[in-house]
Amino acid sequence: MVFLGLLGAAVFHTQLAGRQLRIDRLERSVASERERFDELRYQRAELRSPVRLADAAGALGMQRGDATEFVEVSPQLLAAQIAAAGVIDDRAVKITIDTDPLDQFRAVKSVTERLP
């Protein structure tokens, strides 16, 4: 009985050590993938950098505009455009309510991104 108990304990410790090795391998793998994720996030930040984008645009011959002009659209023209595009949804109304140009741009993009 004692021999079987010792044999069972030995088998249990062997299984425990094997599983611990597997856990250690998984933890190393997770750590290396986290490092890789951080490196990729850093590369993405570099690629999206305004300075790099400006340099790339300059290399393509693009240049900064001289002036910015916001065009005010009459409600009738907006209604005609909505009628021409068909029924979209209630989010199209947000375009005329918001006064911030960036909010207007976001609203237009959210409506038009689903259109063909």
Indicate if 81 and 52 belong to the same structural domain: no
Is there a domain that residue 70 lies in? no
Indicate if 52 and 101 belong to the same structural domain: no
Indicate if 54 and 83 belong to the same structural domain: no
Which pLDDT score is estimated for 98? 47
What are the pLDDT digits (tens) for 25-73? 999 999 999 999 999 999 999 998 988 999 999 999 998 888 888 888 8
Q: Is the dihedral of CA 44, 48, 52, 57 positive or negative?
A: positive
Which pLDDT score is estimated for 65? 81
Two tokens, residue 52: 């790099």
Backbone angles phi, psi at 66, to 5 degrees: -80, -40
Provide the residue range defining the domain that includes 19: 2-59
What are the pLDDT digits (tens) for 70-113? 888 888 888 888 777 765 666 555 555 545 667 767 766 776 66
Indicate if 83 and 53 belong to the same structural domain: no
Indicate if 85 and 50 belong to the same structural domain: no
Indicate if 16 and 47 belong to the same structural domain: yes
Backbone angles phi, psi at 65, to 5 degrees: -70, 155
* Among 14, 30, 59, residue at a domain's last position: 59
Indicate if 39 and 88 belong to the same structural domain: no
- Count of structural domains, the chain: 2
* CA nearest neighbour of 110 among 96, 89, 80, 85: 89
Show the 3-state SS of the chain: CHHHHHHHHHHHHHHHHHHHHHHHHHHHHHHHHHHHHHHHHHHHHHHCCHHHHHHHHHHCCCCCCCCCCCCCCCHHHHHHHHHHHCCCCHHHHHHHHCCCHHHHHHHHHHHHCCCC
Indicate if 46 and 17 belong to the same structural domain: yes
Two tokens, residue 39: 């490196």
